[in-house]
Amino acid sequence: MGEYAMREMVLVGHRTLLGEIIRMEEDEATIQVYEDTQGLQIGEPVTGSHESLSVSLGPGLVGGFFDGIGRPLGTLMERQGVYIAPGLNVPQVDPTTEWDLVPVAKVGDMATPGSLLATVQETPLLLHRILTPPGVEGEIVEMAPQGALRSDGIVARVKDPFGHETPIPLVQRWPVRLPRPYRERLLPNEPLVTGQRVIDGLFPIAKGGAAAIPGGFGTGKTVTQHQLAKWSEAQVVVYIGCGERGNEMTDVLEEFPVLEDPRSGRPLMERTILIANTSNMPVAAREASIYTGITLAEYFRDMGYDVALMADSTSRWAEALREISGRLEEIPAEEGFPAYLPTRLAEFYERAGRVVTQGGETGSITIIGAVSPPGGDFTEPVTRHTKRFIRCFWGLDKNLANARHFPAISWLDSYSEYAQEVEDWFSSHVDPRWGSLRDRAREILAEDERIQQIIRLVGEDVLPDDQRLLAFTAFLVKNGYLQQSAFGPDSYSPPEKGFAILDLILHFHEKAAGLVKKGVPLSLLKDGEPVDAITHLRELKAEDKGAFEDLRKRLDAHLDRVGAERTPTREPRPGDAGGDASWR
């Protein structure tokens, strides 16, 4: 085994199946083959590639659809039809494609890792920046001219102080298990706006943050991931369909090309990369798919972009680890998962972050991992260990999903440790009262939980009106604000719209609370067309500012009228419960 290395990529058998050396002992090696090994015979040759599992990085990735080891599924299908035979090693990006190169650096300039050499307008949404790769430094002695350059072309040649020349190809290779270097980490204090009210409003995620969406079957993990992939304010989205059903990937493939980016009006695929390793594809490639995805994300981060990476689902990835570990006869730890499960999860989530790149740009990778705990049990190892490495937790609640409250993100179990850090951004970009409204909404939801318990015990009728009002406001928050259908005009809700809805609900609450205190019966306050209209606000468009203002006026008029008619003449005395006199 002298000429081989651990984790080296090898081609196995006459069909050249792609594999990786995962164990070496004296002159024996264990090779993890990423494809179906059926039919492989003793005596077939194995050829080393002298590199570890790597991906090609360059123009042609965006809008693409790849398998777990980075092979373009579109090209494979053109050549092979729907069923892909093993061993077909097609290049990740077609070497013959020509790109319109615009040089930025010139001969004589110094190139340092991350410095900008040239650009290619890869899609109308994405300017691809060709950078000096990590580890390369020196004087540029040759530069490709402006104009067409093939994918397998050379952009520049760099000569180091020792006279050694390094060609810099348009498409570069990078080993997927090695994080790409950056200069420095930054605080995650800018939110990744997702267009989902419950996320942006209550449990925001920062650019460069890491979040987990755990939930049992059918609670909406996939739909939520799709929503985030569609609407997140990222310049590049990497979506990894890892071990999930094939038809879910089909949905993505059918939907994304026809969807428009809400900010630019261009097709979403122009900023999206899809990686699919569905449940019927080889399990080993599933393990690799996560690394392939994050390496692509890092490549675009290095260009100074905000990248969002969705992995659906990390549980299936952990199961792939377990399966491979089992075959290696490693000693299993909790529930059969290998003892290094937490380390692998940490390594993955650690690759998220907002950084200063080697070239001095600011870029970020936000990781959003779905977790599918068996039986919806959040104490199982994958969920539990994931919680240690993420700072944003969107727990999906089976009861909410059953009640068709979507997104079924529980307002009691979920949390975001980024909320404080991104508050300033929302205060200056949306409204200075952002933070206080969020706190108030959460207070009301928490208090409502307590009231609901009492209601379950003794019924609603015995509650004083101020508590019933609180329960009613919580109902408005849940139905008018937190609920958001993924299908329809409300699918994307800019922060301004969410804020306007919440502001109106809380405005109603404060005003009604004042009247209830004066003894005005709640039943009259909450009974009226403007109050009913609150739950329909989410169907409005954010631009429709007039409609929000109009409703506020109607609401005020309604409350003022009821208040004037029904305010009791005597002043309330201490000890008055406040409420509808009819039941007392």
Residues that bind ligand ADP (CB under 6 A): 215, 217-223, 406-407, 485-487
CB 279 to ligand ADP: min, Å: 13
Which runs of E-coded beta strand occur in 409-525?
415-416
SS3 state at 551: helix
SS3 state at 430: coil
SS3 state at 255: helix
* CB-nearer residue toward ligand ADP: 295 or 483: 483
CB 372 to ligand ADP: min, Å: 7
**Do strands 8-12 and 46-52 pair parallel, antiparallel, or not at all (unpaired)?**
antiparallel
Q: What is the DSSP code (8-state) at residue 274?
A: E
* CB-nearer residue toward ligand ADP: 99 or 393: 393
CB 196 to ligand ADP: min, Å: 8
Vertex 409 angle, CA 404 and 415, to 5°:
165
* CB-nearer residue toward ligand ADP: 180 or 197: 197
* CB-nearer residue toward ligand ADP: 23 or 245: 245
* CB-nearer residue toward ligand ADP: 133 or 498: 498
Q: Residue 404 CA to chain centroid, in angstroms?
A: 23
CB 290 to ligand ADP: min, Å: 18
Q: Which residue is nearest to ligand ADP (CB)?
A: 220
H helix or E strand, kind and range, residue 21: strand 17-25
* CB-nearer residue toward ligand ADP: 220 or 521: 220
CB 223 to ligand ADP: min, Å: 4
CB 517 to ligand ADP: min, Å: 37
Q: What is the DSSP code (8-state) at residue 482?
A: I
The amino acid occupying position 540 is L
* CB-nearer residue toward ligand ADP: 371 or 559: 371
Q: Residue 403 CA to chain centroid, in angstroms?
A: 25
Please state, in angstroms and rounded to a whole number, the distance separating the CA atoms of residues 24 and 49.
Answer: 16
Q: Residue 440 CA to chain centroid, in angstroms?
A: 27
Please state, in angstroms and rounded to a whole number, the distance separating the CA atoms of residues 200 and 193.
Answer: 6
CB 200 to ligand ADP: min, Å: 14
- Using an 8 Å Cβ cutoff, are 51 and 9 in contact? yes
* CB-nearer residue toward ligand ADP: 229 or 506: 229
CB 389 to ligand ADP: min, Å: 21
Please state, in angstroms and rounded to a whole number, the distance separating the CA atoms of residues 398 and 215.
Answer: 8
